[in-house]
Amino acid sequence: MKTLPRLTLGGGHMGRLIRSFAMAALASTLLFGCGGVGTGGTGAFLSSEVSGFASVIVGGVELDDTKASVFDDDGAAVARNGNELRLGMMVDVDASTIVSTSNGKSAAASRFRIATAVLGPVEAVDTGTRTLTVLGQQLQINAATVFGPSLHGGLSALHAGDVVAAYALPDASSGRYVATRIEPAPGAKAYRLRGIVSALDSASRTLHIGGATLDYANASGVPAGLANGQLVRVKLPAASGTGVLSVDAFGAATGSPMDGDSAVVDGLVTSFASESAFGVNGLPVDASQAQFDPASTALAAGVYASVEGRVANGTLVATRVKVLGQSAIAARVYQVSGPVSSLNGSAKTLVVRNVEVDYSGAQFVNGTAAGLANGVAVRVDGPLSADGTQVSATQITFP
């Protein structure tokens, strides 16, 4: 039987459902939240990015994905080839109940749904502010943004007109997105946009998402009760350019965890009424009885939070809320385990689980660099390279 990679998703938590806004690079098993579709309330729900591969590591939970199916934004099946789930992507995951042992947390994934934030042509690149504009959306690039391996130089490798897929978290406080992964998407048959509604005009059937004006007069699947502040996902014709963009269809913007599911959601606060009532990645949170870590940190729209609890009546009733600062996010360490391929001793690079690794500065455990060879199993730990296209290994461990 072919062994597929285990994934790690953001925040250190796992659920029967993992919904990722974008499967982004994660810290040493620091994973971000994603949502999925539940089927009974006896499993777990996780909203996060993919931050590593042992199996798949999500929210600090190792997911056995050997029997899992993968679907795209529209629900179409994606062939499993070992490269369909990539570092920094956002996904929704259905999984079994999380099991905790002395070795950590684990669960079995049954379904991943890839969740793209923005897919379309690049309009502007600003290397000074480290921002990228796509379909009127400003994407903020940071030290944890993963770039596809062909984009050597990261942000500077992109130009106006390039079609890209961006996995990202919407920041309600700034109107921007925090990008977790950027990759080329040439030949896309449709463009996509997931974001927060503003300037809704139900009479003229227009709305804004970020800097884009959308006309939904002929769209299918318009959500009942469409309102300002709502997180939505829209599909646009690939011919879309600048000006008013025509919406072909609305789709599910978030996963739907079942009542009774245990849940971990990592992401930006997308709506905020108080520290007891807010939303993360579009999921309502009741934190009235939650423990906050650190207790002194203020919560607000746009703040990154990891929330644990259980779903009741469509709301995540939190038992723990952890607030993460930008310094913690930027300091993420990624972990990738598997057999070595594409070893280049001269350049001191190799590939593990389709992740390119620079091992020029690595320390070795249970072996030396001389033991590296294609097919040899290793575990790589390290941050992203400056351009976001590689993991810069600080440690390589042999079994």
The token pair that represents 358 in the structure block: 């620079």
CA distance 112 to 89: 11
Q: Are residues 205 and 162 in the same domain?
A: no
CATH number at residue 349: 2.40.50.320
What's the mean pLDDT in 157-164? 96
Q: What is the mean pLDDT of the chain?
A: 84
Q: Are residues 376 and 354 in the same domain?
A: yes
What pLDDT, on the 0 to 100 scale, is given for residue 41?
54
Q: Is the pLDDT of residue 313 over 80?
A: yes
Tens digits of residue pLDDT in 328-344? 666 778 889 999 999 99
Whether 288 maps to a domain, the answer reads no
Q: How far is CA 209 from CA 1, 81, 164, 171, 236, in A?
A: 45, 34, 18, 12, 13
Q: How far is CA 160 from CA 134, 146, 236, 322, in A?
A: 9, 19, 19, 38
Whether 220 maps to a domain, the answer reads yes
CA distance 253 to 223: 10
What's the mean pLDDT in 245-257? 86
211, 231, 251 — which closes off a domain? 251
Residue 160 phi, psi (nearest 5): -55, 135
Tens digits of residue pLDDT in 269-279? 988 999 999 99
Q: Is the pLDDT of residue 3 over 80?
A: no
CA distance 125 to 110: 38
**Domain that includes residue 143, residue range:** 118-184
Give the model's confidence band at 109: pLDDT under 50 very low, under 70 low, under 90 confident, else very high: confident
Percentage above 70 pLDDT, the chain: 85
Q: Is the pLDDT of residue 304 over 50?
A: yes
125 forms beta bridges with 132
What pLDDT, on the 0 to 100 scale, is given for residue 12?
40
DSSP string, 159-192: -TT-EEEEEEEE-TTTS-EEEEEEEE-TT-SEEE
CB 88 within 8 A of CB 22: yes
Into how many domains does the chain fold?
A: 3
- Angle (CA) 114 117 122, round 5°: 125
Q: Is the pLDDT of residue 14 over 80?
A: no
Residues 6+ apart with CB under 8 A from 321: 285, 287, 290, 291, 292, 293, 299, 305, 306, 307, 308
Q: Are residues 155 and 213 in the same domain?
A: no
Whether 341 maps to a domain, the answer reads yes
Whether 393 maps to a domain, the answer reads yes
CA distance 346 to 91: 36
Q: Is the pLDDT of residue 33 over 60?
A: no
**209 class by beta-carbon count within 10 Å (0-12 exposed, 13-18 middle, 19+ buried):** buried
251, 270, 299 — which closes off a domain? 251
What's the mean pLDDT in 88-106? 83
Tens digits of residue pLDDT in 36-68? 333 345 677 776 788 777 667 766 778 888 889
Whether 64 maps to a domain, the answer reads no
Whether 363 maps to a domain, the answer reads yes
Tens digits of residue pLDDT in 183-241? 999 999 999 999 989 999 999 999 999 999 999 999 999 999 999 988 899 999 997 66
Q: Is the pLDDT of residue 315 over 90?
A: yes
What's the mean pLDDT in 71-88? 88
CA distance 266 to 278: 13
What pLDDT, on the 0 to 100 scale, is given for residue 358?
97
Return the sign of the alpha-carbon dihedral for residues 233, 235, 241, 244: negative
Give the model's confidence band at 2: pLDDT under 50 very low, under 70 low, under 90 confident, else very high: very low
What pLDDT, on the 0 to 100 scale, is given for residue 13?
34
Specify the residue for token string 């905020």: 272
Least confident of 75-79, 103-107, 306-310: 103-107
207, 236, 251 — which closes off a domain? 251
What pLDDT, on the 0 to 100 scale, is given for residue 37?
32
The β-bridge relationship of strands 146-147 and 177-184 is parallel
